[in-house]
Amino acid sequence: MHAEHTRSGLWPLLLEALDPGDAEFRPWGSGEVFPEQMSSPANHDPADLLAQWWATYTTVDEDDDILDTDRRLAVTAPFGQTWPGLAAGSEPTTNPDQLAAEYAQAFLAERPQTRLGLVAAASGAEALAVAGWEGPCNYDNDTAKFSAVVRDWEQRFGARVVAVGFSTLHLSIAAPPVDEHEALLLAAEHFAFCPDNIWQGSRPYTLAAYAERIAGAHHWDFWWD
């Protein structure tokens, strides 16, 4: 992946449609991408973004139709409403680009309807904004903010953007945390980045349960409602 990108300047993205039988191949074939609306990932500090999102999603709202007060606070235990800070990064245990290529092959084997997109971007993280993808638009319309966080994960965890769908994102991870505390901190980052992963994920809806799932995992998957 890296060698080809160095020569071409194009970043490959596997593109999923909204539904397997979607004739329009949304959002890619239907034109539901808006690159002109995106800022630059360089304009955003990933640590600040995650802290701000955490504060927003842990704020108790009496009119909330997703979680009641007690359950909302239980979700983010043991941190509650206090942002715990970023997880420490580590050196990759395998080549990030080789791992991304292997994950791409496995992804295609499970989803043969997936198409290939090529984006003129410096990295997979930047390709999300350059392509005008709006997967998290129900939370923020500026994908560059999410790109800034993914770019930070590229550096800290050897992340690579492999596939992207209407409201889904799939990353390969060359340096996942294996320590229980670091996995819990990373779970907090994932919650701030994509709260639906935990709010609407598999039971139980807690950071601790989610941390167990991602500890040592070599791919991360996100879905925004």
| pLDDT tens column, 114-129 | 999 999 999 999 999 9
CA distances from 141 to 14, 23, 132, 138, 196 (A): 22, 25, 10, 7, 16
Domain ranges, residue 120: 2-18+38-59+92-223
Provide the pLDDT confidence category of residue 69 given band limits of 50, 70 and 90: confident
What pLDDT is recorded for position 202? 64
| Torsion 190-195-200-205 (CA) sign | positive
CB contact at 8 A, 155 and 44? no
Judged against a pLDDT cut of 60, whether residue 2 lies above it is answered with no
Residue 63 has pLDDT above 80, yes or no: no
Q: How many domains does the chain have?
A: 1
Buried b (16+ CB within 10 A) or exposed e, 31-47: eebeeeebeebeebebe
Q: What pLDDT digit, counting tens, does each position of 138-173 carry? A: 999 999 999 999 999 999 999 999 999 999 999 999
Per-chain mean pLDDT for the chain: 92
Among 25, 215, 49, smallest CA distance to 125 is for: 49
Q: Is residue 79 part of a domain?
A: no
Mean pLDDT calculated for residue range 15-40: 93
Residue 139 lies in a domain: yes
Q: What is the DSSP code (8-state) at residue 88?
A: P
Q: CB-based contacts of 16: which residues, under 8 Å, 6+ apart?
A: 111, 114, 163, 164, 165, 166, 168
Band (204; pLDDT cuts 50, 70, 90): low
